[in-house]
Every structure is written in structure tokens, then in C-alpha cells.
């Protein structure tokens, strides 16, 4: 079955490269530009993985996870994919139901693919 | 004669006198008899006691009596109540007594015998008169004695009252704690109370001789001149100033001055109060108030700083996203191309892209370092300490840097006791410390050299030593290298990449653990970093 990934990210250029690389790997990609859109897409698509950015307009990543009961989505892995390197936030996000907290500036497209493969295994 | 004598004998009795004298007069052939005695004090003849006292025409009688004295026996006419009896005969004894017979026809013979008895009569009445005078005088004396006594008593009472009042005023003068000075307008001290000379540290004798300039602060001398003018004009007023004590110390004073009359002359009255204590209390209050104000200011500043810090922390959070985003985008797309996702690349294209990629990576690294420093410096930097086996963290760090050591052909030797002990540390931060020190050891050592890592349990603290035999650090630079953004120039420094923050982090993190880091080094011989962490 085709695995789907929801990319919640406001930076379009990043959105594009992730979409490019991951769809080339055969994943179905859905995108959202902010947390609010993200929740809509989450409900609609029930993806296998969510790549969640933190700093977004309208609704940020923190609010997204606060407004989402991750137990409603047992098959979805929520991965915080951000440039904010802050241990307090990391802890908070993991407590809110995030599966992993990744610094995106440390990841190349290849690294991303590897990460996604491992998580959606 | 016998009758006469008998009658005369009865005359001494005052109660019988009027009757007896009439009888005597008739015996002598007259109607009335009046005996006059001279009052020596006023030089006037006055009727003796028991005889009619008020006679008409005083002068006529006096003249008659005087004539009687002169002539010894004198005949005349005198005004008398019994008008029929105005023919008078006066018979005098010496110049003291005159017997006057009035009316009738006194016989000469009888008068002669009377004359023989006159001395007796005179003596009797004189004596009587004298007694009366004495009695009167005694009475007067008594009265005056009583009056004198009363007066003396009153005087005594008054004196005592006065004494009490004076004593009271004097005691006020003596015992008041306010200094009282009385000066004349020449500036001399005329009177001073104990409070005054004590306040100034002098004895009475010492101070009473002083002039104004001796006990008033030089800056206040002009004030004294003003006082003279003002009080002469009749005003009372208060001024503040400074007086000088015998020992030269100053006292703050408040002086109330007024002009007044003392011993009949205009003088200056000054009441001086030592307000040093009050001034000191005021000073203390003012300082307290100032301190309060300063505290308020400090609180404001602290709140402002807190705001700034909060703003800074927010900035850090925002910056880490904002700064990294463009670089992340570049990284993704270069990596994508380099993976030949968009088609094959020539060797040159690959090389160029690699350079661009590396540069971008360097930028990301710098951004990370800056953000790390900002976080360490921020008030929100807190360690999450847990007891950890330090040696395993050391070994882990060494392992992470394996490729680095390999490429430099350097070896790392780790010395540790058999029994591992746990040290309360923040594992992530402490690992960063070791990583930095180990990296430096490698970077600043030559290829083929050995790096020593040792762990010691010193009882109250753990000691970790990382030593190399590399370029070493000059004495001058040994303190500086722990500073932010400081990199020391040496043989190998050009080949080393870094922001100059590593050792700053080491120092901050170790100190945050309440530990210490020391550098022992000799230029050209190598460096030894000793980290101590409390257990």
C-alpha cells in the first residue's frame, strides 16, 4: 500500500524539495502551509507520517499538536521537523505526542528519505 | 487748810476729780478750777486729765497761761463755758504747771497757801501726764513693734518667695539641656549655662572668655553679624548653623536669638540646641529614602533587564528559525543536485557544488554555535543533572571523534579506575565539554602524537585530565583562550576551523556544574586541561 506523508511547512521552497524527493520514492505527499490547514489535511488524509514544522503563521506546530489528540491517529507518526534547537521545546513536543524531534538543517534530502523509510517501516 | 489738803488728797482719784476740783475751787473762794500742765513736746499748756479739755479760744488761754508763768500770779478774763465765771486767776509753778481759778472772789490768803501746795500738785499732774505719755508711747511702741514684726514677717515671706522664684529660674537656667548664652553687643559672653559650656566641651571659665569666632564655624561668621543687626531691631528668629567644640569637632545647631535687657543694658539672648542627632536622624532617613529610591530604581532596572532577557530569548528562538531557513533550503537543493537527482554531473560541477555545499555547512555551523552561546548566556540556561558514569561519556566522545584521530594518525589513551563512579552531570552538556577538549587536543597536536585522557576520584570531586603534546599555549594567552570568540595564533591555528567559542562553552558549562577548568601549558610542549566536577 502506498504510504502517505503530510508535510506541514510554511516555507514553500522546502515543501517543494521534500515533496520532490519523497514522491520520487513512491510516497503520496500532502501539504499544508500552516497548522490550521494541517489539521484539516490530517483529518482528511490520515497519513502514515506527518512532517511538522514549528514556526508557521496562523497556527504554529505547538498549537497543532495541542489541538490534535495523537491517540486518535494510532497509525500516524508525528515527526517535528524544525530549525528550532531547544531542549525544552523538544521535551514538550515529545510529551504532546511527537515521535521524533529532528533538526532539519542537519538533514540532506538523502537523510530525510532514510528517516522516512525507518519511521514508516 | 486742813480741808484743802484733804481735798487735794482726793484729787488723785480721777473718778472723783471733777467734784473734788469744784470743791477745791469753792474752798478757795472761786467757782472753777483748771490745772494746766505744759506738754514739753509741743510746748503748749494742756489741761490735765479730768479737767475740761476743750476750752474756747485756745490762743487767749495760752497767752494767759504764759503770762501766769511770767508773773507767777496773773489776773485776767478768759472765755469759759460758765460765762459768769470768766474772771480768772492763774497761779504758776515754775514753767511747768498753772492753776487757774475761775469765777468767785478768791482770797489772797488762800491763794498763798495754795501756792505752797502747788509743787505737789504740779508734781502729781506732771507725773500723771508723763505716765500718760509713756503709756501712749508704749502703746505706740507695741503697735510699731507689732507692725515691724508683721512687716519683717512679710518681708521674710516675700524674700523666701523671691528666693524660691529665683531658685526656680536659676535651676531652669542651670539644668536645661538647651545652651543659653547671653552676649553683649560687643560679642562678649556675659553669661552661659552649664548646658552651653558642656555642649562645647569647655569649662565655664574657659568658655566665658571666648569670642564669637572661637565657637562658631567660619562659614557662619557672617550669620552672626546679621543676627546682631536683626536682634537690635527687636526681632526674634531661628537660624541653623554649625558650632565648633573645644576639640575641633563640629556640631549642627539651631539657635533662637532675641534681644533683651540684662542688667539694664541691651543684650543678645541665644538659645542653642544641638541638632546633630536630629540631623543625623534626618540624614539617615534621607539615606534610607535614597536607598529605597535606589532599590526601586534597581527593581525597575531588573524588570527592564528581565524584559530584555525575555526579548533576547524570544529572539534566539526566532533567529534559530529565520537564520537557518535560507541555509537549509540551499543545503537541500545543492545536495539534491549533487545526488544527481536532476541529472548526471561533471567532475567540475560536482567539485564546485561541493565547495558551495561546504561553505553553506559552515554557515549553518556558525549559526548553531552562535545560538548555543546565546542559550548558555541566557537566564534560561539550566542543567538537567543526573548521576552518570563519566568515564563512559569520555569513551563515547573519543569514539565519536575516531575518524578525526585516524586521519591525524593520533592515538588516545584513556586512564580510569576499575570502579566507575557516578558524577551528577548534565550528560549532553558534559559530553559537549569533553568533545571540545578532545577536538582541540587533536587540532592543536601534530600527527602521530598521543593524547592522554585520565579520570581520578579525588573524594569530594572528580578530576578529568585531557593532555596533549601539541603546540601548547603561551602564558599570555592562557587566560584569554577561555574568552568568547578568542582564537590564539599558533602554528596550527590557520588550519583549524572554528568560531573560538569551544573553550568558552567548556568554561561556562563546567562552572555551571559548580566545577572548575584549568589549563597548564608550555609553548611548544603541549597543553593539559584539568576539569574538576563536584561529586
Q: What is the 3 state secondary structure string of B168-234?
A: HHHHHHHHCCCEEEEEECCCCEEEECHHHHHHCCCCHHHHHCCCHHHHECHHHHHHHHHHHHHHHCC
Q: Where are the alpha helices (DSSP H) in B55-107?
A: 58-71
pLDDT of residue B379: 73
- In terms of Cβ atoms closer than 10 Å to its own Cβ (0-12, 13-18, 19+), residue B407 is exposed
pLDDT of residue B149: 81
3-class secondary-structure state, position B102 = strand
Nearest to B324 among A24, A86, A105 (CB): A105
Counting one residue from chain A and one from chain B, the pairs whose CB atoms sit within 8 A come to 59
Distance separating the N- and C-terminal Cα atoms of chain B: 161
Q: Do A55 and B327 touch (CB under 8 A)?
A: no
Cα angle value A42/A34/A91 (rounded, 5°): 80
Residue B325 touches chain A, beta carbons under 8 Å: yes
3-class secondary-structure state, position B316 = helix
pLDDT of residue B139: 79
- DSSP-assigned states of every residue in A53-78: -S--SSS-HHHHHHH--GGG-TT-EE
Phi/psi class of residue A28: alpha, beta or left (left: φ > 0; alpha: ψ in -120 to 50)?
A: beta
Q: Do A110 and B321 touch (CB under 8 A)?
A: no
Q: Do B318 and A104 touch (CB under 8 A)?
A: no
Q: Closest Cα of chain B to A56: distance in Å?
A: 10
Q: Do B317 and A87 touch (CB under 8 A)?
A: no
Please count the CA atoms within 13 angstroms of the CA of B91 that sit on its side-chain side.
Answer: 21
pLDDT of residue B182: 92
d(CA B165, CA B159): 10
pLDDT of residue A107: 95
What would the grid cell of residue B78 be?
Answer: 478768759
What would the grid cell of residue B29 be?
Answer: 473762794
B277 neighbors B263 (Cβ within 8 angstroms):
no
pLDDT tops 90 at residue A41: yes
pLDDT of residue B495: 63
Residue A62: its chain B contacts at CB < 8 A? Answer: none
Q: Which residue of A has its CA nearest to B363?
A: A105
Q: What is the dihedral of CA B201, B204, B210, B214, to 10 degrees?
A: 10
d(CA B21, CA B31): 10
d(CA A51, CA A3): 13
Nearest to B48 by CA among B109, B129, B161: B129
3-class secondary-structure state, position A91 = helix
Chain A positions touching chain B (beta carbons under 8 Å) = 11, 13-14, 17-18, 20-21, 24, 54-55, 82-88, 104-106, 108-110
Q: Do A86 and B375 touch (CB under 8 A)?
A: yes
Q: Name residues of chain B where pLDDT drops below 50.
A: none
Helix axes B17-27, B2-11, angle to 10 degrees: 160
- Output the average pLDDT for chain A: 94
pLDDT of residue B394: 93
Please count the CA atoms within 13 angstroms of the CA of A101 that sit on its side-chain side.
Answer: 20
Q: Do B335 and A108 touch (CB under 8 A)?
A: yes
pLDDT of residue B337: 96
Helix axes B2-11, B108-175, angle to 10 degrees: 10
The 10s digit of each residue's pLDDT in A55-87 is: 999 999 999 999 999 999 999 999 999 998 888
Residue B117 touches chain A, beta carbons under 8 Å: no
Q: Do B333 and A104 touch (CB under 8 A)?
A: no
Nearest to B3 by CA among B76, B80, B110: B110
Q: Provide the chain B residues 420-449 that lie in CB contact (below 8 A) with chain A.
A: 428
d(CA B479, CA B519): 9
Residue B343 touches chain A, beta carbons under 8 Å: no
Amino acid at each position: 500500500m502506498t504510504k502517505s506523508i503530510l508535510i506541514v511547512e510554511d516555507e514553500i521552497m522546502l515543501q517543494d524539495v521534500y515533496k520532490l524527493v519523497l514522491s520520487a520514492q513512491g510516497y503520496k505527499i500532502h501539504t499544508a502551509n500552516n497548522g490550521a490547514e494541517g489539521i484539516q489535511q490530517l483529518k482528511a488524509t490520515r497519513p502514515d507520517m506527518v512532517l511538522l514544522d514549528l514556526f508557521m503563521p496562523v497556527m504554529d506546530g505547538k498549537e497543532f499538536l495541542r489541538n490534535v489528540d495523537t491517540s486518535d491517529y494510532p497509525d500516524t507518526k508525528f515527526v517535528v521537523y524544525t530549525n528550532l534547537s531547544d531542549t525544552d521545546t523538544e521535551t514538550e513536543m515529545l510529551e504532546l505526542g511527537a515521535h521524533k524531534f529532528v533538526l532539519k538543517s542537519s538533514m540532506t534530502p538523502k537523510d530525510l528519505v532514510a528517516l522516512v523509510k525507518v519511521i514508516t517501516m | 487748810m486742813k480741808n484743802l489738803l484733804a481735798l487735794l488728797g482726793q484729787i488723785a482719784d480721777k473718778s472723783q476729780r471733777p467734784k473734788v476740783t469744784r470743791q477745791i475751787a469753792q474752798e478757795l473762794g472761786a467757782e472753777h478750777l483748771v490745772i494746766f500742765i505744759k506738754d514739753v513736746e509741743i510746748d503748749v499748756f494742756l489741761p490735765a486729765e479730768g479737767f475740761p479739755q476743750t476750752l474756747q479760744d485756745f490762743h487767749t488761754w495760752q497767752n494767759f497761761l504764759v503770762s501766769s508763768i511770767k508773773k507767777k500770779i496773773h489776773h485776767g478774763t478768759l472765755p469759759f463755758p460758765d460765762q459768769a465765771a470768766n474772771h480768772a486767776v492763774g497761779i504758776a509753778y515754775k514753767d511747768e504747771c498753772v492753776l487757774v481759778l475761775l469765777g468767785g472772789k478768791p482770797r489772797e490768803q488762800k491763794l498763798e497757801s495754795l501756792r505752797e501746795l502747788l509743787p505737789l500738785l504740779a508734781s502729781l499732774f506732771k507725773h500723771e501726764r508723763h505716765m500718760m505719755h509713756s503709756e501712749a508711747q508704749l502703746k505706740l511702741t507695741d503697735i510699731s513693734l507689732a507692725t515691724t514684726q508683721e512687716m519683717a514677717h512679710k518681708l521674710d515671706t516675700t524674700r523666701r518667695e523671691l528666693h524660691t522664684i529665683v531658685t526656680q529660674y536659676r535651676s531652669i537656667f542651670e539644668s536645661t539641656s538647651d545652651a543659653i548664652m547671653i552676649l553683649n553687643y560687643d560679642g562678649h559672653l556675659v553669661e552661659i549655662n552649664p548646658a552651653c559650656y558642656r555642649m562645647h566641651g569647655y569649662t565655664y571659665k574657659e568658655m566665658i572668655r571666648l569670642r564669637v569666632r572661637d565657637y562658631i564655624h567660619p562659614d557662619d561668621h557672617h550669620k552672626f553679624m546679621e543676627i546682631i543687626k536683626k536682634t537690635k531691631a527687636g526681632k526674634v528668629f531661628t537660624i541653623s548653623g554649625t558650632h565648633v567644640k573645644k576639640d575641633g569637632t563640629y556640631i549642627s545647631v539651631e539657635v533662637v536669638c532675641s534681644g533683651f535687657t540684662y542688667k539694664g543694658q541691651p543684650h543678645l539672648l541665644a538659645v542653642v540646641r544641638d541638632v546633630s542627632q536630629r540631623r543625623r536622624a534626618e540624614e539617615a532617613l534621607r539615606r534610607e529614602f535614597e536607598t529605597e529610591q535606589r532599590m526601586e530604581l534597581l527593581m525597575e532596572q531588573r524588570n527592564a533587564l528581565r524584559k530584555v532577557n525575555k526579548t533576547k530569548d524570544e529572539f534566539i528562538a526566532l533567529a534559530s528559525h529565520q537564520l537557518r531557513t535560507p541555509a537549509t533550503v540551499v543545503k537541500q537543493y545543492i545536495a539534491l543536485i549533487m545526488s544527481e537527482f536532476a541529472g548526471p554531473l561533471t567532475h567540475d560541477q560536482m567539485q564546485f557544488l561541493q565547495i558551495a555545499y561546504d561553505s553553506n555547512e559552515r554557515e549553518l555551523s556558525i549559526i548553531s554555535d552562535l545560538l548555543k552561546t546565546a542559550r548558555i548566556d541566557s537566564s534560561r540556561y539550566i542543567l538537567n543533572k543526573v548521576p552518570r558514569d563519566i568515564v563512559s561519556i569520555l569513551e563515547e566522545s573519543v569514539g565519536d571523534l575516531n575518524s578525526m584521530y585516524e586521519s591525524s594518525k593520533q592515538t588516545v589513551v584513556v586512564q580510569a579506575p576499575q570502579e566507575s563512579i557516578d558524577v551528577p552531570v548534565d550528560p549532553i552538556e558534559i559530553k559537549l565539554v569533553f568533545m571540545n577538549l578532545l577536538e582541540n587536543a587533536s587540532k592543536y597536536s601534530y600527527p602521530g602524537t598521543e593524547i592522554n585522557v585520565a579520570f581520578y576520584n579525588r573524594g569530594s570531586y572528580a578530576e578529568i585530565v585531557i593532555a596533549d603534546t601539541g603546540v601548547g599555549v603561551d602564558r599570555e594567552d592562557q587566560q584569554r583562550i577561555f574568552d568568547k570568540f578568542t582564537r590564539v595564533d599558533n602554528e596550527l591555528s590557520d588550519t583549524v576551523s572554528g568560531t573560538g567559542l569551544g573553550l568558552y562553552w567548556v568554561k561556562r558549562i563546567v562552572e555551571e556544574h559548580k566545577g572548575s577548568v584549568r589549563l597548564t601549558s608550555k609553548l611548544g610542549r603541549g597543553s593539559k586541561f584539568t576539569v574538576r566536577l563536584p561529586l
